[in-house]
Amino acid sequence: MRYLALCGLFALPLLAQAADEPPLTISTKRLTLETATTIAQKTIEACRKVGYQVGVTVVDRSGQTQVVLRDTLAPELTVTVSGKKAYTAISFNSATSNLTDRFTSPFSVPKIDDLLISGGGVPIQAQGTLLGGVGVSGAPSGKIDEDCAQAGIDSVLDDLEME
């Protein structure tokens, strides 16, 4: 018994040292396909309620497209635009409407092909973690696009926060 106690005393400094070292890997939360699909569907529904047919793209936290939906009468262009808005939202971890005055020089970051600084992109955040982004295109204003995107996120946000 005394031998076990002595081993424990010698192990304590080693455990403390291990706790100070950074981990070698990290765990990353990701949206499931079902959750991303629900967000996209609820976004479409929110825009329909106010009379607009839109395109919606949900991207994961790395900007990879996860779900794309285009309502029946939404032009094909809405798919391209919604994807760029979603990508921009996760790239800056900000609603794209918050970025419109941020970049004013002719050679600023928004000149990169996949970025679009226009209202309608919203990051998906829960528990202080960026999980993805939603982009919407097709309503007559970025504000309406953004409101629809937020409605889609809000449809699952409580579940994401409680997970």
- Do 82 and 137 meet the contact criterion of CB atoms below 8 Å apart? yes
Is the pLDDT score of 16 beyond 60? no
How does pLDDT run across 49-74, given as a tens digit for each residue?
Answer: 999 999 999 999 999 999 999 999 99
Q: Could you tell me the pLDDT band of residue 41, with boundaries at 50, 70 and 90?
A: very high
Q: Is 131 helix (H, G, I), strand (E, B) or coil?
A: strand
Task: Write down the H helix ranges in the chain.
Answer: 2-20, 33-49, 77-92, 142-162
Task: Write down the H helix ranges in 21-57.
Answer: 33-49
How does pLDDT run across 69-101, given as a tens digit for each residue?
Answer: 999 999 999 999 999 999 999 999 999 999 988
pLDDT at 6: 47
27 vs 96, residue with greater confidence: 96
CATH topology of domain 33-162: Beta-Lactamase (3.30.450)
pLDDT at 128: 93
**Segments making up each domain of the chain, as ranges:** 33-162
Highest mean pLDDT among 5-9, 56-60, 116-120: 56-60
Q: Supply the DSSP symbol for 107.
A: T
| CB-side neighbour CA atoms (13 Å) of 96 | 34
Closest CA to 121 of 56, 34, 46: 56
Distance of CA 8 to the CA centre of its chain: 46
- Do 85 and 118 meet the contact criterion of CB atoms below 8 Å apart? yes
Distance CA 109, CA 59 (A): 20
Q: Which residue has the tokens 């990879």?
A: 64
* Type of residue numbered 82: S
